């Protein structure tokens, strides 16, 4: 009986081993790799920006002699003092933009962008020039003191630009941009002159002029934009705009009847004055965009 049981047990074990050999071996699947985030640059976007503007535009004052007294040095000193250039200035700029991108491939993106900007007010410059007018009949030297004040104002600035860029990495776009610029411009000039000497100086003289209008020009620049998520990006951008120049008359300055004063000579020394203003500057700004993709 024991022999029968043992024989049956060994037969069962053999059948189980054969069945196990026929079963497929267990396979172990690897965990899926984390996919890199996909950035889609195509689509419309809207955003805000703010930054610095300045560094190029200027106002130059010019004077030409229209009449001289019996001593030409009087008018020459007046013309010299009224000829000067106001330096550069800077301020704050900020506004909004919207645009459209089209991603051609994993490397190239092109599109357009339009923006409108406001500036932090007028750029004012003052100068004081004191050329000397020598009294040749005595040892007295009478300075002709000139005070010039100029204002160069850009009330708003708008651009419509093309953008073409290269994706350095999927989330970073390096681009060039350029196109149309337009803005509301204004400039004012005031020039005051006085002759200072020890007794009985001639009266001071004052003149002024202004220009305003809407100007159209160009803008060029470039920048970099980082895609922070599927909908948000941040950018750093440089632009140079040029709305051209304008020349406007600012009247003239005159010293009349020098004889009654302690200055030598007689007659009228007069100059005609004008100003030339350049409406061009540099912009460095940062911005954020929301993408509707």
**pLDDT tens, position by position, 175-193:** 999 999 999 999 999 999 9
> How many CA atoms does the CB half-sphere of 170 hold within 13 Å?
8
Residue 105, burial from CB neighbour count under 10 angstroms (0-12, 13-18, 19+): exposed
**Three-class SS of 42-94:** CEEEEEEEEEEEECCCCEEEEEEEEECCCCCHHHHHHHHHCCEEECCCEEEEE
Q: Which sequence spans correspond to the domains of the chain? A: 56-284
- The 8-class DSSP code of residue 244 comes to E
Collect all residues with Cβ–Cβ distance below 8 Å to 166 and sequence separation of at least 6. Answer: 107, 108, 109, 173, 174, 175
Share of the chain above pLDDT 70, in %: 78
- Tell me the two tokens of residue 29: 């699947």
Is the pLDDT at 154 greater than 70, yes or no? yes
Handedness of CA 211, 212, 218, 223 (dihedral sign): positive
**9, pLDDT greater than 80:** no
pLDDT at position 65, please?
A: 92
Please state the rounded mean pLDDT for residues 142-152. Answer: 85
Instruction: Provide the phi-psi class of 19: left if phi over 0, else alpha when psi is between -120 and 50, else beta.
Output: alpha
CA–CA separation, 275 vs 190, rounded Å?
10
> Lowest mean pLDDT: which of 23-32, 96-105, 283-292?
23-32
Query: So what's the pLDDT on residue 35?
Result: 45
Task: Decide which of 21 and 50 is more confident.
Answer: 50
Average pLDDT over residues 47-57: 89
* 87/153: higher pLDDT: 153
What gap in Å lies between CA 257 and CA 70, rounded to an integer? 10
pLDDT, mean of residues 273-287: 94
For residue 143, give every residue at least 6 positions away whose Cβ sits within 8 Å of its Cβ, in sequence order, or none.
130, 131, 132, 133, 195, 196
Q: Would the pLDDT of 140 be above 70?
A: no
pLDDT at 127 over 80: no
Report the mean per-residue pLDDT for the chain.
Answer: 83
Each residue's pLDDT tens digit, 252-261: 998 876 666 6
Q: Quickly state the pLDDT bin for 4 (edges 50, 70, 90).
A: very low
What residue has token string 């130059």? 60
């Amino acid at each position: 009986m024991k022999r029968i049981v043992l024989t049956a047990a060994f037969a069962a074990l053999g059948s189980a081993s054969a069945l196990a050999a026929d079963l497929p071996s267990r396979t172990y699947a690897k965990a899926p790799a984390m996919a890199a985030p996909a950035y889609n640059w195509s689509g419309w976007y809207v955003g805000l920006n703010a930054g610095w503007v300045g560094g190029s535009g200027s106002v130059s004052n010019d004077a030409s002699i229209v009449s001289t007294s019996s001593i030409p040095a009087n008018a020459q000193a007046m013309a010299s003092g009224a000829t000067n250039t106001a330096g550069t200035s800077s301020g704050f700029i900020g506004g909004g933009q919207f645009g459209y991108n089209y991603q051609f491939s994993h490397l190239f993106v092109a599109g357009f962008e339009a923006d409108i900007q406001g500036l932090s007010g007028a750029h004012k410059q003052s100068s004081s020039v004191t050329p000397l007018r020598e009294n040749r009949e005595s040892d007295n030297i009478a300075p002709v003191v000139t005070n010039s004040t100029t204002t160069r104002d850009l009330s708003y600035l708008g651009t419509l630009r093309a953008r073409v860029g290269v994706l350095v990495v999927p989330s970073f776009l390096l681009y060039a941009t350029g196109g149309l610029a337009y803005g509301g411009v204004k400039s004012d000039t005031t020039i005051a002159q006085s002759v200072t000497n020890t007794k009985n100086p001639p009266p001071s003289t004052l003149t002024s002029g202004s220009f305003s209008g809407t100007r159209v020009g160009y803008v060029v620049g470039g920048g970099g934009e980082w895609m922070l998520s599927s909908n948000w990006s941040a950018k750093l951008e440089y632009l140079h705009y040029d709305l051209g120049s304008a020349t406007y008359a600012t009247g003239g300055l005159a010293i009349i009847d020098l004889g009654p004063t302690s200055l030598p000579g007689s007659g009228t020394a007069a100059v005609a004055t004008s100003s030339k203003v350049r409406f061009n500057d540099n912009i460095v700004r940062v911005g954020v965009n929301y993408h509707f993709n």
